[in-house]
Structure 1
Amino acid sequence: MTRSAIACFSYLAAVHTLRVPRMPELNYGIEIISTGSFLAGDGPIVAGALAALGREPVLLTNTIGDDPQGQLITDRLGTWGVPTPLAAMATATMVNTVVCDEAGNRTWFSGLRGIDSILNDIDLSPLHRASAVYIDCYEVLGDAPRRVFDAACDLGVDIYLNLGGGPLPGWLRGPATTRARVVQTNASHTDPDAAGRLAVQLAQTAAADVAVVTAGHLGAFAVHHADDTVVHAPALKVAVKQVQGAGSVFSAALLDSLQSQPVLHDALTRACSAGSLWCSRTEDDPFPTSAEITATPTDRAS
């Protein structure tokens, strides 16, 4: 069997977005500038961005409900060219709420109760036709990602892990017979040195061959497990319209690049371009294509 697909594991939920001028103080309020609808987690967005790059994505995720929120997800995934998990009539689509401010900060409220046990039961047979798998390893998913990781290891599939800003799962710590190709997380864009330090620390855990840390307009930092030299790629200077999904688009471009050529700095630079381009668009715009990423200007953020 030809392994042409790229599998993406995560939860699937609708997202209600609130955009505010700044985050309110505790026990206080703030006006809402605008609202929007999107989807999560990162895995489904990675799948959509991969499709725009000419890859064949397949989702490893929970089903969604036959309800208005589920229909919004189905429509969006269809627009992206990503097959939708079959809806279950008796299942209500899970919904998260995300609050974004004008400084690029985000906080979210999770409506994912029981998602870890649900994801433990999903079908992993699509991994047999995958050359690589992207795995979200959020704390809320418990040990469900481990099942996907172990199956991918058994099949010899390239593994890309996303911590989403959370800690490294316990099952990834300590000696391992198989490492992921990449482990990615994010750091605050307010501290220019934090991302580089975190990349070094993450690389020293030996969870992956390469540790990658994104930091908003500061770009991204990467470190090889075998070499503690920090590789940095800056973001593009763009007029930011929104930041939701930027890390996912970055991940898709990084995965796509590393599957084609192994030069880390080039792949990191291309991924930063893709993430920056996405931030210059609205959530209803198409994802950046390979041609658009290649044609990006050289003006980079400092």
Structure 2
Amino acid sequence: MNEGVSQIAGQAARAAGHGIDPATGMVGSTTASETVGAWGFHLGAITQHVDGVVVLFWAFALFFGTLVWYLRAEDKREGYPMEDPTQPERAHPLLGFPPPPPPKTYTLMKGGTATMPHFNSPPEVPARHLHPFPGSAWVPTGANPMRDPVGPAAYALREDEPLLQEGERLQLVPLRVVGDAWHVQGGDSDPVGMPVVGRDDGVAGHVRDLWVDRGTKLLRYLEIELTGGGRRLMPIFFADVNPKFRRVKTRSIFSEQFAAVPETRHPDQITAREEDRICAYFAGGKMFAEGVRRGRYGQPPEDLRRGDGAGGVKRLFIRRSA
């Protein structure tokens, strides 16, 4: 009994020595001199109401808020200010929050400079808004929206220069330029010489050469010799190479539409903008090829609003005609 009482008394004394009230288990505020700093506050406390944890929390909150502000401002160096299609140009520019940052000049790898944001007006697009409010769908007004930057055929205006590797080497080249250093891996079907057919199974030409990306070591384009003359490039991602039937088929455009594929200025080079235009043409074919073939586009705006004939908006964008 005496030993038990002594143990309890010892624990109470130790608790009191550390500033703990034996009755409540709470830390005292004026006991145990070793827990009190030189200014009379508990260790870890800056004032009686602010401690290190509070300071760290607000420091992190300030840092994170500043980071979000900076990133949201920097991503407005392109594409801003936005414009309201229902208002005159530049009447009420939409800047959002936070506003775009002040212009900054960048030095380009190939020489020259670029200042962003530049606030230049975007190029004219052969399309109009279906309804007069921001975000409304675009209705193509050109005769061939696959060649216009509208909808799935839209593309960015990158530099009209070829992509280069270190040492000023061209990144995208045909196999005839690199010689025997590149070839189709054994076991894979070599599409060179295969006929190329469109979504109507009509023959547009045959594969003449392959274009490779020396940076990623990937096949990127098929060079097609058209039946009617001329050469065009088709992205490999829109091509289905069928070794069984020995043909290359695309489900994007029709055979007669290969002649309208954007051309390259140089037979052995392709620029970044030419790449985007070619890829956009085949991507736009998924939506517009049927309408272009039937002559649905290029109608006057009043015909589109009425929905009469083959140029009706409902027939273009809601359901496929019979």
TM over 0.5: no
* Structure whose alpha-carbon radius of gyration is higher: 2
Q: Which has the higher strand share?
A: 1
